[in-house]
Amino acid sequence: MDYLPFTRPTLDEATIQGVVEVLQSGWLSSGPKVKEFEAALSEYFGGRPVRTFNSGTATLEVALQLCGVGPGDEVITTPMSWVATANVVLHVGARPVFVDVNPVTRNIDVDRIEAAITPRTKAIIPVDLAGLPVDRDRLYAIAEKHHLRVIEDAAQSMGATWQDRRIGSFGDLISFSFHANKNMTTGEGGCLVLSDEAQIPLAEKLRLQGVVRSPDGGMDVDVAGGKYNLTDIAARIGLGQLKRVDAFNARRRELVKHYFACFDRSLGCELPLEDFSDSNWHMFQVLLPLDRIRIGRGEFIEAMKQRGIGVGVHYPSIHLFTLFRSMGFKEGDFPHAEKIGRETVTLPLFPAMELADVERVCAAVKDIIEAARK
Ligand SMILES: *Cc1c(COP(=O)(O)O)cnc(C)c1O
């Protein structure tokens, strides 16, 4: 039987041909395709200004810089995310302040945010884990009350909505990633949705070495920008993907509905929140009943691999990484995130999957867990 990875991008012939044309055009770096992609993204996000970057990490870092976050500042975020979310805070010299997650949504527990705010707090970075949006109404109410900026790490929630409004079409600064595993990809890449045209010049400077060109052919630099521009090759992939992302997400929803229908609830796995209104179902993650089986997560993953099924882990809680422990974080700080970090596994989910693949995954999980019961 074919190996079923936990995710795989869907690229069509027209996109592949379009990339060939870019390669033949002689213009490989940021050029006309980047401009076209940014215009298409802006339209997708209801007309807001959008700039592309070469990763979703770069977009977050530039967003922090646009908010003036730096040494001495604190940024509130979740420990249950890809480590990029916290690393960017360190990169600008600020301190990440983690707030534990809600065990049901697995997202930052909005009820606990206010207790973490100090006079040094400058911004909040909410993460829509697996594409399930954080409650934007309550989040922005807190941000406004305490005069905080919000940088939405929407790396996983492209095409998701909050109460019928598309993520990225409202709010402060919204950051997306187009990494190959995300719901739409450019290979590597990302985009930042701005709230005001006035933010564009600084965003563009921070993206490319701080350079501003003058009409006489010269240039000036007044800020040490990075090297974060997207290539036209990547932008062309993105143009092909953007056309299909809503259809991809609809297919993900169908597959997830089948997961919920087929998954044997008696196994004791904790399933994700059954949300079919807002989530884009970037991932389907279950928590293993590790206290009720004789095998560990590593053995479960290996047993799935033996059956030709790829399983991911997203994510170990960030605060328990050596780097963050060295800053004083420790076991017991965020019990909900720690439990998820220990037990979570990401089962296969991508648009090209068949319903039969979902059934195969559910059968394999059942087989392995039943054989390992204490
Ligand atoms: C993927 C991801 C990022 C980083 O995006 P890259 O494009 O890989 O740099 C940041 N935050 C979250 C939550 C992500 O899933």
Q: Which tens digits make up the pLDDT trace of 5-59?
A: 999 999 999 999 999 999 999 999 999 999 999 999 999 999 999 999 999 999 9
* pLDDT for the residue numbered 352: 98
pLDDT given at position 228: 98
4 in a structural domain:
no
**The pLDDT value given to residue 77:** 98
In this structure, the answer to whether residues 215 and 282 fall within a common structural domain is no
Last residue of a domain, one of 225, 242, 259: 242
Residues 152 and 273 in one domain: no
Are residue 176 and residue 123 in the same domain, yes or no?
yes
Q: Which residues line ligand 1 (CB under 6 A)?
A: 55-57, 81-82, 84-85, 127, 153, 155-156, 177, 179, 190
Do 59 and 177 fall within a single domain? yes
% of residues, the chain, pLDDT over 70: 100
pTM above 0.95, yes or no: yes
Across the range 254-264, mean pLDDT stands at 98
Average pLDDT, the chain: 98
Q: Is residue 7 part of a domain?
A: no
pLDDT score at 61: 98
Domain range for 327 is 245-372
Are residues 233 and 283 both part of a single domain?
A: no
Q: What per-residue confidence (pLDDT) applies to 369?
A: 98
Q: In this structure, are 62 and 169 located in the same domain?
A: yes
Residues 203 and 249 both lie in one domain: no
Q: Which atom of ligand 1 is nearest to the CA of 57?
A: 9
- Verify that 118 and 76 share a domain, yes or no: yes
In a domain, 6, yes or no: no
In testing the pocket of ligand 1, which one of 82, 157, 175 has its CB within 8 Å of the most ligand atoms?
Answer: 82
Residue 243 scores a pLDDT above 90: yes
Q: Which of 89, 177, 181 to mutate to test the pocket of ligand 1 (most atoms within 8 A of CB)?
A: 177
SS (H, E, C) the chain: CCCECCCCCCCCHHHHHHHHHHHHHCCCCCCHHHHHHHHHHHHHCCCCCEEEECCHHHHHHHHHHHCCCCCCCEEEECCCCCCHHHHHHHHCCCEEEECCECCCCCCECHHHHHHHCCCCEEEEECECHHHCCCCHHHHHHHHHHCCCEEEEECCCCCCCEECCEECCCCCCEEEEECECCCCCCCECCEEEECCCHHHHHHHHHHHECCEEECCCCCEEECCCCCECCCCHHHHHHHHHHHCCHHHHHHHHHHHHHHHHHHCCHHHCCECCCCCCCCCCCCCEEEECCHHHECCCHHHHHHHHHHCCECCECCCCCHHHCHHHHCCCCCCCCCHHHHHHHHHEEEECCCCCCCHHHHHHHHHHHHHHHHHCEC
Check whether 153 has a pLDDT greater than 90: yes
Same domain, 38 and 82: yes
Instruction: Give the position, in ligand 1's atom list, of the atom nearest the Cα of 190.
Output: 7
pLDDT of residue 1 exceeding 90, the answer is: no
Q: Kindly report the CATH number assigned to the domain that includes residue 252.
A: 3.90.1150.10
pLDDT at 136: 98
Q: For position 67, what pLDDT does the model report?
A: 98
301: pLDDT confidence band, cut at 50, 70 and 90? very high
Task: Indicate whether 56 and 162 sit together in one domain.
Answer: yes
What confidence score (pLDDT) does residue 17 get?
98
Residue numbers annotated as active site: 182
